[in-house]
Structure 1
């Protein structure tokens, strides 16, 4: 098994022949069933798995997602969970789901489910996106975790990001060599301001803390936003961000 692969599993629809749970035979037959050499054999979905769930709960998330979105269509899903090191020193758990384009039919496969009204359509992506959010929240709640997930885009959440200035190759080269430039400084300030706005609006890009969470998490959120804002605007300009000169601002604005 490859490095960082924690679990691998094949899930087939109910009534599928037993050979479909054999990885080598499954994909050999999928390939053999196509006439064109350049035919698309499968599609892949990447799921980012939350760190607040343990290994078994992460497996449950993937299985339930497949059970809501793929096997009801008659599709066979082959998934693997990886957990390499992340840049922050923690783990980066995620799942790769490879699934057939043709549904199970008898002892083989039927017609491909591709096209605008099937797997290539916006509706499938929209439904799968909403399904994943529901699965995450359901499993997280079952795990007695206070963390809830909001997978809407920043725009949908009402978080406006400031456009980042473009820099040319000369500035990029200087910055990479360790020389600070005025253009580079402007880019960093915009990045910090965007981080500050995001941190203040929600605990993270995908996590939403429920009302029952510890107030300490609110304090952590505010500390993060405060530090980013300080880096962007300086120590004496918090009024524009918080609405007053003190950090004793009203916490009720945090979406719950």
Structure 2
């Protein structure tokens, strides 16, 4: 069963802001790149943007199954208000290129119903984010996948600063023991894998999840680029898109690589089979000459030193 985890940064320098990114994960097309606009988009809500003095309405957004904010135990109640939360994050970061939040995307198994998917995300958030004092805003989306089925996934946007008093403390970013440390991503992936396998055990399912990447699994295959529902829809209608072209090129390269590996395996197997047949023929020849003419005929003057049919030592 397929499942995966990705993590991205949300920063002003990239044209994406915190409330805006939160909204995007629950909603529709973002025409305005402000923080609150993205936040409204992801949650499928109407949010007022204090920084840009606008109101963004994405209540018509489809495929948003659920949106929820989880704060650490003892956090002030206002942190679970999406508009107040992300406007406060924006107000607290002064630099024009400030990193405002991070986003984790969890691919959710199709064999789980919506309530089970919610619980999986909540368990992951509590184990990896609120346990660090961070506030997490997640939304579950279920757009159409390229195979015609659903593509359930969760967007989890979380603060970089832990809750401290009635506000936020020092950022937990950094490449050494911080949120930018590669080990943190590895720990989160292992955590998600464990949570999913525990759910499988509870459901008496034989499905086992392995979130290691292709390289870690020893699979020599190029990862296929992800395409969204819009590209999928266009491709199904016969339109050629750049994303679709890239996916087809990757698939072609992977198929060529697999064909080459299969050819190499066949050639190696044929070579080994030929050697085995030659060895059997050699043994038969030795036995024949030994029986008909004695050991000297088969092995020369020294029967203790085994030779091949042509007189070379083996």
Measured against the shorter chain, the TM-score band is 0.5 to 0.7
**In the alignment, what sits opposite 1:108?**
167
SS at match of 1:60: helix
Larger C-alpha radius of gyration, 1 or 2? 2
Is 1:153 the counterpart of 2:213? The answer is yes
Following the alignment from structure 2 to structure 1, what is the Cα–Cα distance between the partners of residues 153 and 218? 27
**Contact 2:221–2:254 under 8 Å retained in 1:** no
Q: If the length of structure 2 is used for normalisation, what is the TM-score?
A: 0.53
Match of 2:139 among 53, 61, 80: 80
- 2:185 matches 1:125: yes
Query: What does residue 191 of structure 1 align with?
Result: 254
1:18 and 2:18 matched: no
SS of 1:155's equivalent in the other structure is coil
Question: What SS class does the counterpart of residue 89 from structure 1 fall into?
Answer: coil
CA 1:189–1:39 in structure 2 vs 1: closer, same or farther (change >3 Å)? Answer: closer
Asked if structure 1 preserves the Cα contact closer than 8 Å seen for 2:136 and 2:159, the reply is yes
Contact 1:75 1:104 in 2 (8 A): yes
Where structure 2 has 5 or more consecutive residues not aligned to the other structure, the ranges are 1-43, 45-60, 223-238, 241-248, 271-314
1:129 deviation in Å? 1.0
Distance change >3 Å, CA 233–CA 98, structure 1 → 2: closer
RMSD: 3.0
What's 1:182 paired with?
none
Taking the aligned partners of 2:133 and 2:117, their CA distance within structure 1 comes to 23
Aligned residues of 1:42 and 1:100 also touching (Cα < 8 A)? yes
Instruction: Establish whether residue 37 from structure 1 lines up as the match of residue 99 from structure 2.
Output: no
* CA contact 1:116–1:122 (8 Å) conserved in 2: yes
Structure 1 unaligned runs (5+)? Answer: 163-175, 178-185, 198-228, 245-256
How far does residue 189 in structure 1 lie from its aligned partner after superposition?
6.3
Q: Distance in 1 between matches of 2:158 and 2:85?
A: 11
Q: Distance in 2 between matches of 1:190 and 1:36?
A: 43
In 2, Cα distance between equivalents of 1:189 and 1:50: 27
Over 3 Å counting, the alpha-carbon distance change for 1:190 and 1:146 in structure 2 is same
Q: Does 1:89 align with 2:152?
A: no
Q: Give the secondary-structure state (helix, strand or coil) at the position aligned to 1:53.
A: coil
Q: Deviations along 1:134-159, whole A, 9 cap, x unmatched?
A: 11111222223221101112222232
Change (3 A) 1:64 1:193: farther
Q: Tell me, what secondary structure is at the counterpart of 1:158?
A: coil
Corresponding residue for 1:134? 194
- The alignment covers a number of residue pairs equal to 185
